[in-house]
Amino acid sequence: MPRLSDLTDAESLALLAWQVAAGADEAALDQPVDRTRPPPAAAVPAPPASRPALAAVARSPGSAPPRPVPAAPPALIAQDAKALAAGCRTVAELEQAVRLYDGCGLKKTATNTVFADGDPKAKLMLVGEAPGADEDRQGKPFVGLSGKLLDRMLQAIGRERGSVYITNILFWRPPGNRQPTPQEIQQCLPFAIRHIELVGPSVLVLLGGTSAKTILNQTEGIMRLRGRWFEYKIGENLPVIPTIATYHPAYLLRSPGQKREAWRDFLALKLRLSNAL
Ligand code: URA
C-alpha cells in the first residue's frame, strides 16, 4: 500500500475529496495520523482491563480465570423513545430524556445533542431537519449560515430569535450532513411530536421537506406542501395548531430565486401571528 508521503499532490487532493464525499469533513485530532504506517511498538494497545464499576466478575466452578460479565444496561440507557417521550410532563424533562436516549445511532458520531433554542413559551415554534456542523459544535439549532438567514427572515416579520422557539426533528447531526434515514427519523419522531405538544405554540412552521413531510405525515414534496396552512392535531379535545410549511433556509441559500416564495410564506405567517392568541 502506498504511504501518504508517497502520494502526489493531485492524489492527495483526490483522497481528501473522497473523504469529504464520504462525510469525513472535520479533523478529530490536532495532528494528522498516517494510518498507512504500522503503529509504533509502544502504541500497541494493551488488552483492556476489566472495569469493576460496570462489569461483574463471574467464576464457573473449576475454572480459574475470572470472566467479565457485561453489567446490565443502566436504566438510564433508554431505547424506547415513545414511552420515554410520553412520560415527560415538561420541556425540561423532555430535554433530559432526549439527552439520555441512546436509541439513535447518530448520537454516537455527534459532538453535542442539539435540543432547542429560544423561548419554550413562545407563540411561534419552528421545526427544522437536523443539526449541521456549526449546530453540532455549539449545541444549538440554526446557528450556522442557514440560521443567520433564518434570523433575518424572522426579523423581517418583527420577530427576534429569543422570542420564538426553534428545534429540529433530529437532535444529532448526520455525519457529513447527509440526509437522515427514515429509521433515524422514526427514532427521534416521538420526541419531536411530544416537543410540539409540550410547547403548544399558537403557530407552527415546518422548515423544509423532511420536517414538513414527517410532521404532517404527507408524501408530497416541499414544493407542493409549502405555503399551505394545515391544522396540526395534537390530541383529542385539544386545539389544533395552525401549521405552515416553507422552504428550508439552507435550500434558499442554494436557490435564492425561491426566496420570493418563502417571503410570501413569512408574510402569511406574520398575518396569522397577529391574529393568534
Ligand atoms: N438545518 C436544520 O435543519 N437545522 C439546523 O439546526 C441547522 C441546519
Mean pLDDT taken over the chain? 84
Residue 250 in contact with ligand 1 by CB distance below 6 A: yes
Query: 210 falls in which pLDDT band (50, 70, 90)?
Result: very high
| Residue among 115, 116, 209 at smallest CA distance from 107 | 115
One-letter amino acid for residue 208 of the chain: G
Question: Is 49 a residue whose pLDDT tops 60?
Answer: no
- Name every residue whose Cβ is closer than 8 Å to that of residue 140 and which is 6 or more positions away in sequence: 114, 117
In a domain, residue 27? The reply is no
Report pLDDT digits (tens) over 66-77.
454 444 344 444
Nearest to 19 by CA among 156, 135, 176: 176
Ligand 1 pocket check for 180: Cβ under 6 Å:
no
Which pLDDT band, with edges at 50, 70 and 90, does 149 fall under? very high
Report H helices in 87-235. Answer: 91-100, 106-109, 133-138, 145-156, 182-199, 209-216, 222-225
57 versus 247: the higher-pLDDT residue is: 247
Q: Is residue 269 part of a domain?
A: yes
For ligand 1, say whether the CB of 118 is within 6 Å of any of its atoms: no
Better-scored residue on pLDDT, 217 or 48: 217
Domain total for the chain? 1
Compute the average pLDDT of residues 41-56.
37
Percent over 70 (pLDDT), the chain: 71
CA of 224 relative to ligand 1 center, distance in Å: 21
Q: For residue 256, how far is its CA from the centre of ligand 1 (angstroms)? A: 18
Residue 164 alpha carbon to ligand 1 centre in Å: 15
Q: pLDDT confidence of 92, banded at 50, 70, 90?
A: very high
Residue found under cell 422514526: 186
Length of the chain equals 277
**Which residue, chain included where needed, has cell 410564506?**
265
Please state whether beta strands 124-128 and 203-207 pair in parallel, antiparallel, or not at all (unpaired).
Answer: parallel
Residue 11 lies in a domain: no
The CA distance from 171 to 92, in Å, is 15
- Ligand 1 pocket test, candidate residues 142, 170, 211, most atoms within 8 A of CB: 142
- Of 125, 146, 164, which is best to mutate to test ligand 1, by the most ligand atoms within 8 angstroms of its C-beta? 146
Q: Choose one of 112, 115, 125, 129 to mutate for the ligand 1 pocket test, by most ligand atoms within 8 angstroms of C-beta.
A: 129
Taking residues 46-56, report their average pLDDT: 34
| 189 located within any domain | yes
**Is the predicted pLDDT of residue 145 greater than 70, yes or no?**
yes
What's the pLDDT band for 100 if we cut at 50, 70, 90? very high
Q: Residue for cell digits 431537519? A: 129
The pLDDT of residue 69: 44
- Cα–Cα distance, 40 to 54 (Å, whole number): 31
* Statement: the pTM of the whole predicted model exceeds 0.85: no
In a domain, 140, yes or no: yes
Query: Which pLDDT score is estimated for 115?
Result: 98
Ligand 1 pocket residue status of 141, Cβ below 6 Å: yes
3-state helix, strand, coil in the chain (%, to 5): 45, 15, 45
Above 50 in pLDDT, residue 189?
yes
The whole-number average pLDDT for the span 60-86 is: 59
What spacing in Å lies between the alpha carbon of 96 and ligand 1's midpoint?
21
165: containing domain: 74-276
Q: Give dist(CA 94, CA 97) in Å, integer.
A: 5
Per-residue burial over 185-219, b = 16 or more CB atoms within 10 Å of its CB, e = otherwise: bebbbbbbbbbbbbbebbbbbbbbbbbbbbbbeee
Q: What is the pLDDT of residue 11?
A: 65
In a domain, 113, yes or no: yes
* Burial class (CB within 10 angstroms; exposed 0-12, middle 13-18, buried 19+) of 243: buried
**Does ligand 1 come within 6 angstroms of the Cβ of 242?**
no
CATH code at position 159: 3.40.470.10
Residue 238 domain-assigned (yes or no): yes
Which of the four pLDDT bands, split at 50, 70 and 90, describes residue 19?
low
Report yes or no on 52 lying in a domain: no
Nearest CA to 68 out of 49, 55, 84 is that of 55
Residue with the bigger pLDDT between 98 and 49: it is: 98
Looking at residue 71, its pLDDT comes to 43
- Mean pLDDT is lowest, of 5-14, 81-90, 133-142, 231-240, for 5-14
Å from CA of 233 to ligand 1 middle = 24
pLDDT class of 238 with cuts at 50, 70, 90: confident
| Per-residue pLDDT at 167 | 98
